[in-house]
Amino acid sequence: MCGIVGFTNKINDSNRVIGEMMDRIKHRGPDAEGKYVDEDIALGHRRLSIIDVSSQGDQPLFNEDGTVVLVFNGEIYNFQGIRERLIEAGHRFRTKTDSEVLIHGYEEYGTKLLDMLRGMFSFVIWDKNKKELFGARDFFGIKPLYYAQMNDTFMFGSEIKSFLAHPHFKKELNTSVLENYLTFQYSPTQETFFKGVYKLPPAHYFIYKDGKLKTERFWDVHFSPDEKPDLEEWTNKISDIFHDSVKAHKIADVEVGSFLSSGVDSSYVAAVADVDKTFTVGFGKDEKYNEIGWAKEFSKAIGKENTSKVITPEEYWGNLAKIQYHMDEPLADPAAVALYFVCNIASEQLKVVLSGEGADEIFGGYNVYSEPGATFYDKLPRAVKRGIGAAAEKLPAKRGVNFFVRKGKDLEERFIGNAYMFTPEERRSLLKIRTNAPMPQEITKPFYDNVRGMDDVTKMQYLDLHLWMAGDILLKADKMSMANSLELRVPFLDREVMALAERIPVRYRVTHKEITDENTKYITKYAMRLAAKKDTPKQTAKTAAKKKLGFPVPIRVWLKEDKYYNIVRSTFEGASSQKFFNTAVLVKLLDDHRAGKADNSRKIWTVFIFLVWYKVYFENDGKY
C-alpha cells in the first residue's frame, strides 16, 4: 500500500514542494519514496512494499520509452493474467509488480482497462505526448483520491493534508459540509470540509487536460435477483466465490494476518484465509464492549495465534486529535478509534491484514434491513400509517413513539443510511451559521432513483453501498490502517463477490421467518451466514448467528463520568464552538445525557469530534 501526490507544474520550486507533500503522507509508505518532475507535472509516491519488495517496484513507474508515468496506491489481484495478455501484445515489463500492468494496460486499452481490473486502487497516469492526466478510483472506494483546482493548479493526492504544503492551496472551511455532517456523521457528498477540495467518487475516473476536468463513472452495482437456485445452491455459490476472493487477497510477498471480532464477518475471513495471526481490541471487562474472549476462543479453535489489547479510556481520549489528523475530515464514528488501535498492534508484527468490511452492505447484514415488512403494522394502509406517524411526531421522542414516526414515512423520507444524527430542524437550531447545504433527501434521491421500483431492503443496501460504506466504513479503514503503515484488505469488497450477491433473492439476504438451524436463528445475511457456518469449525458455529457489535465503544458511559464530561463541556463552551454553535443547546444535550434523560451520546460525539478536528487543522495548522 502506498500514498500518491501530484500537481500540474505552475511554480518554480516544484521539487521542494512535491517533496514536502510526500513528507506529509510518509506514514502511507515508509519503505521508499520517488518523484518525477518536468515543466508540466510533478508526481510523488511513498511506498509500502508488499509485492516485488525489491527497489524495482519503486515508483513513479514508466513505460518503455518514458512517455507514460504512473503513481499508484492499491493492489491489483488479477494482475498476472492481465500481464500475460499484455506481454503477448508486445509490451515489455521490467518489474514483477502489479503496478506495471496499469501503465501498459493504459497504453493498450485506454479507459477500458478499468473494466478488466480486480482489486482496490487509486492511481494517476501522466501521458507526456497527450499532456493529459488520467486517474481512477476503485469500484467501492476502498482507496481514496482527492483533488483540487486552485490558482491555475490541479493537485491530487491520497490525503488532503498533503495539499497544505502547496503554495497555491487555499485552506478554507466548507460550512455546507459541516451542516450535512451533523446529520450523516461524515461528509456524504463529493465536497469535503476543505472548500474547493473534492473526493473522486468510487468507480469513477477523471481526465484532466488543458485546464479542464472530466469525470465519469465506469462501474455500478446492479441488483437483479435470480429465483432459480435454491438456498443450498446459493450457500455453496457464496462459499466458492468467497474462497476465491480470499485466495486473491492473500497474494503478497510478506506475511498476511487478519482482524477478528466476535462477529461472523471477520470470523469467516479468518477461518477461510488460514492466516497465522489474528488481532483484536476491546474495552474493560464488560462483554458488551469487549470481544477479546470470543476472539481468543475462535482463534484457538482454528489453531491460530491471537494478539489482543484492552484500550484504556485514557488511551482512547488521548489519541483523538492524532486520529482526526489522520482522518483528514471529521468522522464521528467512535469505532474509528478502536480500529486505529487494532491496526497499531497488527503493524508491530506484519504489513498486511484482512478484514470483514463490506459484508453487511453486500449480503444484507444490518439489523435495520429487517424492518420492512417485519410487523403486522406494515400491512396497514399507507394513509393510516402516515396519519398516526404525523400525530406521533408531536409527542416527546422515545422508543415506542419513534416506531410510529418511522413507520409513518416512506423509506425515501426516513432512511439516509446507518446513521441519522441531527434532523435538519435540529441542526438549524444548533448552528449559528447559515449555509446552502442540501436537505438529506436531496443527497440520497439520486441513489434511490437508480433503484426505483425495487424492494426496500435492496434500496437500503444500494444507498449504503454508495454513501455509508465509502463515507464512513472505508474512510476509517483506509486512514486508520495507513496511519500505522499497514495495508488493510477487504475480501468481501470484490467485484466477483458483488456480481454474485447482486443475484441473490432478497429472501435469502434478509428473512422474517422463524428459520432455525441447530437452535440458531438467522435473520440478516441469511445465506452468507449459512456459508460461513459451513466453513468454520463446529465448536465456533455460534459465531455465525451472533449479533453484530463491530468494535463497540462505551462512549455513553464515559460521557457521564466527571473527567470526560468536563472535557466535552469545556470544548462546547470554548471559542471555536461559539463560532458555529449555540452552545446552550450543546450543553443541554450533554447535561440531559448525564442526568439520564436521554441517550444523546452519538449527537454529542458528532459535534465534539468536529471541534477536535477543527482545532487540529484550523487552529494548529495541521498539527496535533
Is 2 an annotated catalytic residue? yes
Which secondary structure element, helix H or strand E, spans residue 207, and what is its range? strand 204-209
The active-site residue, picked from 2, 200, 416, 451, is 2
Left if phi > 0, otherwise alpha if psi is -120 to 50, otherwise beta: which for 550?
A: left
Report the C-alpha gap between 106 and 13 in whole angstroms: 30
User: Starting from the edge strand earliest in sequence, which strands make up the sheet with 119-127, in order?
Assistant: 61-62, 68-76, 119-127, 132-137, 204-209, 212-217
**Torsion angles phi and psi, residue 484, rounded to 5:** -110, 15
Cα torsion at 167, 138, 45, 490 (round to 10°)? 120
The string of DSSP letters for 341-402 reads HHHHHHHTT-SEEE--TTHHHHHT-SGGGG-TT-SGGGGS-HHHHHHHHHHHTTSPP-HHHH
Residue found by looking up cell 475480501 in the block: 491
Identify whether the C-beta of residue 67 lies closer than 8 Å to the C-beta of residue 106: no
Cα–Cα distance measured from residue 190 to residue 418, given in angstroms and rounded to the nearest whole number: 19
Q: What letters, b where the CB count within 10 A reaches 16 and e where it falls short, cover 5-16? A: bbbbbebeebee
Amino acid sitting at position 3: G
> Which residues are CB-neighbours of 130 under 8 A, at least 6 positions away?
209
Q: Which helix (H) or strand (E) holds 248?
A: helix 231-249
Q: By 3-state DSSP, what share of the chain in percent is helix, strand and coil, each rounded to 5?
A: 45, 15, 35
For β-strands 204-209 and 212-217, DSSP reports them as antiparallel
Q: How many CA atoms lie within 13 A of 282 on its CB side?
A: 20
352-354 and 305-310: which strand pairing? unpaired
- DSSP, res 581: B
Chain centroid offset of residue 618 CA: 24
CB 108 within 8 A of CB 130: no
Distance CA(282)–CA(310), nearest Å, equals: 5
Residues involved in catalysis:
2
